[in-house]
Each structure stands twice: as C-alpha cells, then as structure tokens.
Amino acid sequence: MTQKSSKVPKKMQARYDAVVALTDTFCKENLTDEYVELAQYMTAALARKRPSPIGSGRVKTWACGIVYALGQVNFLFDRSQEPYMSAAELCELFGVAKSTGGNKAKAIRNALNFNWYDWEWSLPSRLADHSTAWFISVNGLMIDARRAHIDIQREAFEKGYIPYVYGDT
C-alpha cells in the first residue's frame, strides 16, 4: 500500500510547488477537493522518486499527466460518472496535446507502479464501491472483505490489503 504524504525532498520542493499550483487550480475549478488532495499526494510521490521524473520537462505537462492518471483510475472520462470530463477537454484546458497528456499519464502509472484497477489512487468517496479494493484471498479462496468477519477485515487492513475496515464504518 502506498502511504500518502505530501513530504518532498528539499531540492524538489520548488518543482513540486510549481506542479501543485497548476493541479490545485485546475481541480478546484473543474473537479473536486478530493482530486486536489490526490494530485498533491501523487506529485509528492513522484518528487520522492530517485531520480524524480518531474525534475525535468514542462510543468504543465506533468500537471496534466497527473490529473489525467487520476482521472483514468477514477473514471473521470466516463460520461455516466460525476464529475465527468473528456480526456481531450482535460488536456485542452492544460494547453497540452491529448497524446502528450495520455503518454505522460502512462509514464506516471509506470513510475508509481499502479494500474486502472488499483484502489490506492481512488477518490475516498468511491472506495466503498470499488470492487477490486475489497478482494482478498483467504485460504486460497477469493472473497469480498466487506462480507468477511471483522477480525479478518482488521488483519487485511493492517497488512495493507484493503483501504479501511469496512465493518467499522
């Protein structure tokens, strides 16, 4: 499980601040506060990588890629979801070509080793309904942890297998 933190190395602080200024503004104007927070965490995670991928390249391209990657995980590009925004519109608002935004998002997913089904970068409001966040293996059998005994949920949470203890909500 990825520990979410906004801590960054001192030498990356200015770059982090520049990227986050763009993602904060974009997410506040076009998305939600949950996106604001996740974009900050994702930018910090990238800033902590050695070497940090955000250390070079255009700041607006990184900002676009971060929001694009979060959008992919959170179904931002699905018309049936709220909020909704097309990938083309997202990239256009950042002033970045759609192919560039998509390629940067892929580079970010690779750098942070996550895919579209990982719950770790999901919006907190969507975790309860995120099916793959709750699948665990118990004695070789895949089960939905939300339906497991509370002791099993607590152990799965302590090991980082599930986002929180569902029975405590």
d(CA 106, CA 118): 14
> Cβ distance 15 to 47 under 8 Å?
yes
State which fold the 10-115 domain adopts. Answer: Cyclin A; domain 1 (1.10.472)
Q: What is the pLDDT of residues 1-19, one digit of tens each?
A: 455 788 999 999 999 999 9
- Give the pTM: 0.85
CA atoms lying within 13 Å on the CB side of residue 137: 2
Token pair, residue 146, equals 């939300």
d(CA 10, CA 73): 29
Domain spans of the chain? 10-115, 134-168
d(CA 128, CA 27): 22
Q: What is the pLDDT of residues 46-55, one digit of tens each?
A: 999 999 999 9
